[in-house]
């Protein structure tokens, strides 16, 4: 086979190029040079079949395509994270509704929360417990249909005295077919900051009283 001259190699972009960084990966220029060398040194009595030649090109194209796809996915992932971070930052200073039984109480300010009533009930109550898990207040909400029930507490006991500021525990109960069933509660929290996760951990919204929450835990933005 006739040797390929320097001009041909230059046209192919295989000469006068800086050496590739040794990463253990086969680049496009190296692949073409390898193919040309293989053709130059093959046995004339056993030339490379067209199918074999095309198969090698197809394999290289597949590897190159996978690398391009990985780069595209990496770019898309970075864009999604940036977009999510931007959305999260817009929530700083706003209130979010999350599932929690911890109610933050400030004297002179109504503490608002909700009960997630999964079935209709003729009698719904919510107990408020102190740090010793003692019931200090029971709020009667009467009969309610299935759904979210708003309620608030002014921080006062039945005798009119106000409780100290702090975190109190909610326990919601509903009578259903003669039985008392526990119900979930939701509280409103003010977002103070956003934490960027790493690896498999996503973004989290940090509140003043009840810790951090992910986007999936937010039921409502207020």
> How does pLDDT run across 77-88, given as a tens digit for each residue?
666 666 666 767
Residues 47-87 pLDDT 10s = 555 456 556 666 666 656 677 767 776 776 666 666 666 76
Q: What's the predicted TM-score (pTM) here?
A: 0.57
Between 194 and 58, the more confident residue is: 194
**Predicted pLDDT of residue 138:** 96
Where residue 211 falls among pLDDT bands split at 50, 70, 90?
A: confident
Where residue 222 falls among pLDDT bands split at 50, 70, 90?
A: confident
Domains of the chain: 6-74 (no CATH), 97-188 (2.60.40.4070)
Indicate left, alpha or beta for 162 from its phi (over 0: left) and psi (-120 to 50: alpha). beta
DSSP 110-158: -EEEEEEESS-EEEEEEEEE-TTS-EEEEEEEEEE-SEEEEEEE-SB-T
**Predicted pLDDT of residue 80:** 64
Enumerate residues 6+ apart whose C-beta is below 8 A from 12.
32, 36
**Predicted pLDDT of residue 81:** 63
Average pLDDT over residues 152-171: 94
Share the mean pLDDT of the chain.
Answer: 78
Token pair 């009698």 is at which residue?
Answer: 123
**Predicted pLDDT of residue 203:** 76
Residues 130-155 pLDDT 10s = 999 999 999 999 999 999 999 999 99
Measured CA angle at 39 (ends 12, 17), to 5 deg: 30
* Contact call for residues 175 and 119 (beta carbons, < 8 A): no
**Rounded CA Rg of the chain:** 34
C-alpha 195/C-alpha 205 separation (Å) is 6
Where residue 20 falls among pLDDT bands split at 50, 70, 90?
A: very low
Enumerate residues 6+ apart whose C-beta is below 8 A from 21.
none
Question: What is the length of the chain?
Answer: 222
> In degrees rounded to 5, what are phi and psi of residue 28?
-65, -45
Token pair 């971070």 is at which residue?
Answer: 85
- Distances in Å between the alpha carbon of 51 and those of 32, 39, 55, 57, 59? 17, 14, 6, 10, 12
Least confident range from 17-31, 101-115, 183-197: namely: 17-31
Measured CA angle at 203 (ends 200, 204), to 5 deg: 120
Average pLDDT over residues 23-37: 61
């Amino acid at each position: 086979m006739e040797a390929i001259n320097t001009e041909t190699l230059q046209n192919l972009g295989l000469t006068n190029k800086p050496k590739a960084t040794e990463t253990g990966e086969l680049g496009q220029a190296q692949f073409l040079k390898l193919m040309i060398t293989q053709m130059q040194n093959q046995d004339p009595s056993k030339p490379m079949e067209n199918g074999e030649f095309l198969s090698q090109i197809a394999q290289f194209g597949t590897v190159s395509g996978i690398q391009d796809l990985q780069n595209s996915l990496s770019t898309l992932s970075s864009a999604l994270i940036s977009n999510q971070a931007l959305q999260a930052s817009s929530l700083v200073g706003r209130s979010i509704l999350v599932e929690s039984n911890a109610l933050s109480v400030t004297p002179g300010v109504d503490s608002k929360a909700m009960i997630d009533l999964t079935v209709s009930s003729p009698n719904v109550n919510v107990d408020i417990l102190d740090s010793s898990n003692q019931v200090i207040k029971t709020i009667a909400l009467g009969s309610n249909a299935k759904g979210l029930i708003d309620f608030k507490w002014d921080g006062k006991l039945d005798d009119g005295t106000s409780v100290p500021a702090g975190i109190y525990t909610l326990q919601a109960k509903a009578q259903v077919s003669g039985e008392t069933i526990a119900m979930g509660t939701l509280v409103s929290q003010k977002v103070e900051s956003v934490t960027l996760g790493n690896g498999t951990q996503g973004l989290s919204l940090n509140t003043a009283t009840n810790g951090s929450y992910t986007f999936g835990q937010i039921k409502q933005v207020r």
